[in-house]
């Protein structure tokens, strides 16, 4: 019996490879984060993790990913895919489910290093996990959210067929900010022209509550 089947899961798109996080890959991801994720004057994240003390940012990232890996269960799970291009880690794409066996809903989140932004990779990697969720796990709906001024994220969502699902007011850097909720039904998904190549899925469906 393979006690951690996620180690064999891999998603391939035309330009990217996505695998669940491992320690060697996380070390690369930390270096990407230190190289920059967004301009200093912006904050695209609800949890402003990029503003951590630089002395401890790397340690905090590792602890966060380890905690999510340790807590994974069929009832509540997050798979943090490390996104690689030409073998190098360039960012991360998450997909998570809560009571997925009943809800058949997932939520996604992602970030790319600044050196890799603006080339359509954000769309490609989110499309990859949506195809994984809809076609391989049997999801019927995907959710996301982004600040109203996170135009790059909203462009990705629009390309893939998301629709607005309300807003909420949150505090960002001590100031009220509008967070936009987004939802995508499986039949409204604007699928890419390419097909996802996935391996190692069968061993993971039970672990993710999709059996």
What does the domain layout of the chain look like in residue ranges? 5-143+194-199
**What was the pLDDT predicted at 120?**
98
C-alpha distance across the termini of the chain, in Å: 17
Class (C level, CATH) for 5-143+194-199: alpha beta
Q: Under a CB-based contact definition with an 8 Å cutoff, are residues 77 and 99 in contact?
A: no
In angstroms, the CA 55 to CA 37 distance is 17
| 51-59 mean pLDDT | 98
Q: Under a CB-based contact definition with an 8 Å cutoff, are residues 5 and 207 in contact?
A: yes
| 171-181 mean pLDDT | 97
At which residue do the structure tokens 């301009």 appear? Answer: 39
Structure confidence by residue, pLDDT tens digits, 101-111: 999 999 999 99
Structure confidence by residue, pLDDT tens digits, 18-51: 999 999 999 999 999 999 999 999 999 999 999 9
3-state DSSP assignment of residue 114: helix
Structure token digits, residue 97: 């489910």
In angstroms, the CA 74 to CA 70 distance is 12
């Amino acid at each position: 019996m393979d006690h951690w089947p996620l180690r064999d899961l891999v998603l391939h798109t035309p330009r990217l490879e996505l695998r669940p996080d491992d320690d060697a890959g996380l070390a690369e991801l930390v270096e990407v984060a230190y190289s920059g994720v967004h301009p200093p004057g912006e904050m695209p994240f609800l949890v402003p993790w990029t503003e951590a003390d630089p002395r401890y940012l790397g340690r905090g990232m590792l602890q966060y990913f380890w905690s999510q890996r340790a807590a994974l269960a069929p009832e509540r799970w997050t798979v943090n895919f490390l996104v690689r291009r030409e073998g190098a880690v360039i960012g991360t794409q998450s997909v998570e489910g809560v009571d997925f066996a009943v809800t058949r809903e997932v939520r996604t989140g992602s970030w790319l290093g600044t050196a890799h932004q603006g080339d359509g990779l954000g769309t490609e990697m989110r499309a990859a996990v949506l195809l994984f969720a809809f076609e391989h796990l049997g999801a019927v709906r995907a959710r996301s959210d982004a600040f109203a001024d996170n135009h790059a994220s909203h462009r990705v969502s629009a390309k893939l067929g998301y629709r607005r699902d309300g807003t909420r007011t949150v505090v960002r850097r001590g100031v009220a900010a509008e967070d936009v909720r987004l939802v995508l039904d499986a039949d409204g998904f604007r699928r890419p022209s390419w097909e996802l190549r996935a391996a190692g899925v069968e061993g993971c469906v039970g672990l993710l509550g999709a059996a």
